[in-house]
A and B are shown apart, each in its own frame.
Chain A
Amino acid sequence: MRAAKPTRGLLGALGLTGAIITGCGDSGGDDQATSADTTSDSGSGSSDESAGTDTETETDTGTETGDELCPSQGVDLDSPPPQLLSELCLVRWTGDQLEYEDNVFAYDLNTVLFSDFALKDRAIYIPPGETASYVDNGVIDFPVGTVILKSFMFPADMREPELDIDLIETRLLIRYPNEWKGYPYIWDHELGDAVLTVQGEVRPIDFIGPDGIERTATYLVPQKNQCLECHEVKDELDETVVVPIGPRPRYLNRESHVVPGTNQMTVFTDAGWLTGVPAIDELPKAWDHRSLANTPVDQMDYATITTAARDYLDINCSYCHNPRGVNGISSQLFLNWDNEDLFHLGYCKKPGSAGKGGENREFDIVPGDAEASILVYRTETLDLGSMMPLIGRSLAHEDGTELLRAWIDGLPPDDCQEPPEP
């Protein structure tokens, strides 16, 4: 897992990401072999090319090029977002990697949303001089002007994640004075830039999966308004607000791929923009899904399976399925990692208005019986109209659903026929 040790740039990130995805692709010995391959690939591939260049050159490039092409960095909060991503002076695509400008901080998450196997590159732009505040068990409180960038890309072959990469889109989440807003930019590789595309796009994408199997994703670049389907919650005043999902301490609490050996939270603190971070060993930490590469589900102990499954549900489902989730509250199924109410977690719970999603199953979760659980059906099926998550998945994520199955099958069995003891 130290594939990208010497690197700072994207290749390093991809090496890591590739290892994750490889881990997620399938179970068993292949994983470890593939993971090892990836490691050596990215180790040899990336360290040579970008190790020396990135740390130093990136700064130079940022200033030199920036002076010429980027008179100002970041978002003009009084104007509509630019048509071209380059106008924000945050990121460039070299043809095989993303290069971030100054004040843009790349990061990873411990557990990630599955998006049809897309590799993702994440970064945060903090306006110089501004600071963000640590929030315990919540999203970091970012300053106005913050831009969160999330780029989605498909290598032709996930087993060689740093080669032949098709960068599809970069989504921005921008912190305006009163709200966050999301914007999709689709990369036009002839233009060499990403173009604001509020209407989104549905695009078939062929690739070879981490398990060597050819797949075709019906990949969705969400419409601008579809960003809200996942990013909306009710605040304390019961107003609907847009929020980021990933940048929470428990997901950020991991080693940085930019500054190897250093925790990301420390990197952000040292960079001067993140304040109030407790001692690292006191930080909450979600399950690191990269561990799947070395320890597939069938070799995990049940306590780890439970943690992993709950964090997988948290990041993949609970942005809607939480008591404040605008699009999930009517289900009354709350999959946030800290929900301790077993009924709302789905145990022997009949769905609300599940529509066709229930198949012939009766309960969201039948403890001890994954095959009888609606949650498993909906996360595995490819039936349009029954799939969960609602958007962003057109393929099955076998590693994820295997985890969910292992968790549910390992719960104390309950056939859900008898009312619980009072």
Chain B
Amino acid sequence: MTYRIDSLSTATRTLLLALPLAFPLYGCGDDTPADSAETNADTTGDGDGDGDGDGDGDGDGDGDGDSDTAPDPDFPLCSCDQFEGACVEVSADDEEGLQIAANSLEDDTTLVLGLGTFELDNQVTIRANGITVCGQGMGVEGSFDSGTSLDFASQATQSNGLDVVGDNFRVMDLAIVDAKKDGLRIEDSDGVTIQRVRATWRLEGDSSNGSYGLYPVKVSHVLIEDSAAYNSSDAGIYVGQCQHAIVRNNIAKQNVAGIEIENTQFADVYGNLAEDNTGGLLIFDLPGNPVIGRDIHIHDNMVINNNRPNFAPGGTVKAIPAGTGTFAMASRRVEINNNTYANNGTSDVAILSGLVIEGDPEAWALSMAELVGDNTGLELPTNGDTVYSYRTNNIYIHDNNHSGSGTNPYLSTMDQEFGLLLAIVYGQDLPIDQILYDTVEESSFSPSDAMMNSNDNHICIGTNAGGSFASINIEPLSMNGGTVDDLFRPEAPYAPFNCNDLTGGPIIAPDME
């Protein structure tokens, strides 16, 4: 399937509208008569209130779903009625109550946050298992007082927004605004569900914004869906060092990196919109990290208009050229298909060795003993008991749709060397080819003779509507400069890159059980 921009945002709205329906359906068994009595009045109040705005104010949600439930005006979408077991409701004006509740949670408790804004001077910290946190809607971007907002604008300490360590954690229907560090950080946990959570910062393009919007790190079994991230100074949605991840139907806008899948194993990433970031949707490993990324499936996403000047204050992300659609870097077993790439000024899809950002192979060295996760079947460079994670191989790119990209590679600065290189090499011969491969570690390269090009790394380029392919002998090119004549720019079917599979079988889907 292919989305248009409009249809995706419509789809997301629709999901929001459906929420009030969904909750009572699975949540509410028994309602007291008293609750029912309140229903009508509250429903009216609900519709008037601008709190949830698009979310549940309209007739759709209230009409059916609320008819037999009893929404408190402060808890119109989510309330303790919907949950079995221990549950705490906190009103939005009770910041201290929220902090007391968060620090007092026993395992398997639900924490319900009321309609409105919590103005917080410190992070909300959760350290328990089986916790559910729900609010009254994530609101829409540009509004910072709709639904339930955790607002950290007055945060006086260096901390995250919502900071969680705990298995079987679920968070939904709230916004996290202006966190000093990361918006939602969930670390070292197993079983995480993030639904309809918006992480955002008020100022657009501000390098002092927090780093990551939605950030599960070292998490097993994570689902992020129908959520959104805006204006982070690093990555909006950052799945880092995770195993088994589904990232679907999210929106990432105005971040340096929209969506990053980093050092992660078994990820299914689809139905997302990455728009107006510096780089749209990135897959990579960082050097020295013991989780070696693998089996990443990127499909049916919209990656468009990612031309935002890089406003990262520093770090690896500073190297992302404006105009980047997707990087697959220091990655293996990645399939990128049926995505829509449009109007990314530099390049839609670049396949890069990790050595492009860190040229010292030893920086990528890992001992066999320290590796985490499932590394069977990976073709990794080894030396005795040492494994190196810089190599990019076993990549399959096909059936994507490309339009309007590669025509404005001039937004890179000295920090974005790859972007500069492309701008120099292509010169006036734009557009830049939509799919690029750096040929690092290939045994042979020729700009003119297809037979003289090796495909040792098993890079497979299928048919991509509107997209052309080029391989770049990046080492001499970056040393000596060159022109498009120094590139290998075959016609489809791009032999020797015309394979159509992954070595070792198809992508292994995340196992969410």
Query: Which A residues fall within an 8 A CB radius of B?
Result: 198-200, 202, 218, 220, 223-226, 228, 232, 240, 326-327, 330, 332, 343, 349-361, 383-387, 390-391, 394, 419-420
- Contact status of A199 and B103, CB under 8 A, knowing A218-B156, A349-B288, A355-B212: yes
Question: Using a Cβ cutoff of 8 Å, how many contacts connect chains A and B?
Answer: 134
User: Is residue B374 contacting chain A, with contact meaning CB distance below 8 A?
Assistant: no
| Docked-complex contact B312 and A356, CB < 8 angstroms | yes
Within the complex, the shortest CB–CB distance from B208 to chain A, in Å, comes to: 7
Partner of B158, one of A199, A351, A384, A420: A384
Q: Is the CB of B157 within 8 A of A218?
A: yes
Give Cα A133–Cα B182 distance, bound, in whole angstroms: 40
Decide if B158 touches A355 in the complex (CB within 8 Å): no
| Residue among B102, B126, B188, B210 making CB contact with A385, cutoff 8 Å | B210
CB proximity to A under 8 Å, residues B212-268: 212, 217-218, 233-234, 238, 240-241, 262
Query: Quick one: closest A residue to B154, CB to CB?
Result: A202
CB distance from B32 to the nearest CB of A (A): 31
Chain B interface mostly = loop
B210 touches A225 (CB 8 A): no
Within the complex, the shortest CB–CB distance from A348 to chain B, in Å, comes to: 8
Shortest distance from the beta carbon of B2 to any chain A beta carbon, whole Å? 32
Which one, B122, B289, B314, B359, contacts A352 given CB within 8 A?
B289
A199 to B123, CA, bound (A): 10
Report if A355-B187 is in contact (Cβ < 8 Å); known contacts: A349-B363, A350-B363: no
B442 contacts the other chain (Cβ, under 8 Å)? Answer: no
Residue B202 interfacial (CB < 8 Å): no
Name the interface residues of B113-156: CB closer than 8 Å to any CB of A. Answer: 121-123, 125-127, 155-156
Interface residues on B, range: 35 or more
Q: List 16 A-B contacts (CB under 8 A).
A: A223-B102, A223-B122, A224-B103, A225-B102, A232-B165, A240-B165, A330-B217, A332-B289, A343-B363, A350-B316, A352-B286, A356-B211, A356-B315, A359-B313, A385-B158, A391-B159
Set of chain B residues within 8 Å of A358, measured between Cβ atoms: 313-315
Q: How far is A326 from B288 in the complex, measured between Cα atoms in Å?
A: 17
Which residues from A are CB-within-8-Å of B127?
225, 228
Cα–Cα, bound, A16→B308 (Å): 55
Distance, CA A391 to CA B288, complexed state (A) = 26
Q: CB of B181 within 8 A of chain A?
A: yes
Which of B121, B180, B218, B315 has the most C-beta atoms of chain A within 10 angstroms of its own C-beta?
B315
Nearest chain A CB to B489's CB is how many angstroms away? 32
Chain B residues near A326 (CB, 8 Å)?
165, 187-188
Binary contact readout B96-115 vs A (1 if CB under 8 angstroms, 0 otherwise): 10011011100000000000
The 7 closest A-B CB pairs, nearest first, are: A355-B211, A199-B99, A225-B125, A198-B103, A358-B314, A419-B360, A356-B313
**B-side contacts of A352, CB under 8 Å:** 286, 288-289
A385 and B156 within 8 A (CB)? no
User: Which of A199, A226, A355 lies in contact with B234, CB distance below 8 A?
Assistant: A355
Interface centre among B234, B312, B313 (most CB of A within 10 A): B313
* A330 cross-chain contacts in B, Cβ below 8 A: 217-218, 240-241, 289
Give chain A residues whose Cβ lies under 8 Å from the Cβ of B312: 356
Tell me if B419 is interfacial: C-beta within 8 Å of chain A: no
Contact indicator B210/A353 (Cβ below 8 Å): no
Nearest chain B CB to A335 CB, angstrom units: 15
Most chain A CB within a 10 A radius of its CB, from B158, B180, B218 = B158
* Beta-carbon nearest neighbor of B288 in chain A: A332
Contacts of A360 in B (CB 8 A): 313-314, 318
Known contacts A350-B316, A356-B312; is-contact A226 B358 (Cβ 8 Å): no
Q: How far is the CB of B315 from chain A (nearest CB, A)?
A: 4
User: How far does the Cβ of B129 sit from chain A's closest Cβ, in whole Å?
Assistant: 11
From 19 to 52 in chain B, residues with beta carbon under 8 angstroms from any chain A beta carbon are none
Asked whether, in the complex, the Cβ of A226 is within 8 Å of the Cβ of B125, the reply is: yes
Asked whether, in the complex, the Cβ of B180 is within 8 Å of the Cβ of A384, the reply is yes
- Distance of B278 from chain A, by nearest CB (Å): 14
Within 8 A of A (CB), among B147-192: 155-159, 165, 180-182, 187-188
CB distance from A152 to the nearest CB of B (A): 15
How far apart are the CA atoms of A354 and B103 in the complex, in Å? 27
**B205 → A minimal CB distance (Å):** 14
Identify which of B155, B313, B318, B363 contacts A384 (C-beta below 8 A).
B155
Please, how many angstroms separate the alpha-carbon atoms of A332 and B363 in the complex? 11
B454 within 8 A of partner (CB): no
B125 contact set on A, CB distance < 8 A:
223, 225-226
Chain B residues in 8 Å Cβ range of A420: 360, 362
Q: Decide if A387 touches B158 in the complex (CB within 8 Å).
A: yes
Kindly state whether residue B446 has any CB partner on chain A within 8 Å.
Answer: no
**A-contact 0/1 string along B354-388, CB 8 Å cutoff:** 00001111110000000000000000000000000
Q: Once the chains are docked, how many angstroms separate the CA of A163 from the CA of B287?
A: 52
**Residues A228 and B165 in contact, CB atoms below 8 Å apart:** yes
Chain B residues, CB < 8 A from A225: 102-103, 125-127
CB-CB < 8 A to A228: which residues of B? Answer: 127, 165
Docked CA distance A199–B288 (Å): 37
**12 further interface pairs, Cβ-Cβ under 8 Å (given A220-B122, A225-B125, A226-B125):** A199-B100, A199-B103, A202-B157, A220-B157, A223-B102, A225-B102, A355-B211, A360-B313, A360-B318, A385-B158, A385-B210, A419-B362
Q: Report B-chain residues with C-beta under 8 Å of the C-beta of A353.
A: 211-212, 217, 234, 238, 240, 262, 286, 315
Contact B103 A202 (CB under 8 A): no
